[in-house]
Amino acid sequence: MRIRVQIILVVLLMILCLKSTAETYYVNVNTGNDNMSGTVPKTAFRSLAKLSSLKLLSGDSIMLASGSIFRGMLELNNVHGNLLKPIVIASYQSDNVGKDQKSEIDANGYMNGILLENCSFIEIENIKITANGGLSQSDEKLKKQMRCGVLVKVSKSGNYNHIKLNGLQIEDVFFEDKGFRRGAKEVKTANGSQNYGWGIRFINNAEEAILEDIIIENCVVKSVSHTGIKLTGSKYGIRNIQIINNKVIETGGPGIQMSGVEYALVRNNHVNKSGSNNDSRKWGRGSGLWTWGSNHVLIEKNYFLNANGPGDSAGAHIDYNCKNIVLQYNFSANNAGGFCEILGNNYNCSYRYNISVNDGYRVKGENGAFQEGKIFWLSGYNGKRKRKGPFNSYFYNNTIYVKKGIQAKIAIDKAASGVLIANNIFCFEGKTSAVLGDQYNPEKEGIAQMKNVVFSNNLYLNKRNWPKQIPIKDDKAIYGRPNFARAGGDQMIDYLPANAKRIKNMGIEIDKIKGDTIGLTLGLKVNHDILGNEIIGAPDLGAIELK
Q: How far apart are CA 357 and CA 338, in angstroms?
A: 10
Q: Look at the chain and report how many structural domains it folds into.
A: 1
Is residue 236 classed exposed, middle or buried when 0-12, 13-18 and 19+ CB atoms within 10 A define those classes?
middle
Instruction: Identify the CATH number of the domain in which residue 321 sits.
Output: 2.160.20
Answer whether residue 542 is part of any domain: no
Give the whole-angstrom CA distance, residue 217 versus residue 146.
23
pLDDT beneath 50, residues of the chain: 1-3, 5, 9-19
pLDDT at res. 32: 95
Map residue 3 onto helix, strand or coil: helix
User: Across the chain, which distance is largest between two alpha carbons, in Å?
Assistant: 97
Asked, for residue 149, whether it belongs to a domain, the answer is: yes
Put simply, whether the predicted model's pTM sits higher than 0.85 gets the answer yes
b/e string for 411-426 if b means 16 or more Cβ within 10 A? Answer: bbbbbbbbbbbbbbbb
pLDDT, position 18: 44
pLDDT tens readout for residues 217-274: 999 999 999 999 999 999 999 999 999 999 999 999 999 999 999 999 999 999 999 9
- 546 found inside a domain: no
Q: How far apart are CA 358 and CA 314, in angstroms?
A: 11
What local confidence, expressed as pLDDT, does residue 445 receive?
Answer: 57
- Of 218, 380, 329, nearest to 316 by C-alpha is 329
In terms of residue numbers, what domain contains 149? 72-503
pLDDT for the residue numbered 271: 99
* Residue 163 resides in a domain: yes
**Would you call the peptide bond into 86 cis, given omega within 30 degrees of 0 as the criterion?**
no
**Distance separating alpha carbons of residues 316 and 339, to the nearest angstrom:** 7
Neighbour count for residue 533 (Cβ, 10 Å): 15
Considering the domain boundaries, does residue 544 fall inside one?
A: no
Residue 53's φ and ψ, nearest 5 degrees, are -90, -10
What pLDDT does 17 receive? Answer: 44
Question: Does residue 37 belong to any structural domain of this protein?
Answer: no
The answer to the question of residue 67 being in a domain is: no
Q: Is residue 445 part of a domain?
A: yes
Neighbouring C-beta atoms of residue 547, cutoff 10 Å: 10
| 336 vs 375: CA distance, rounded Å | 10
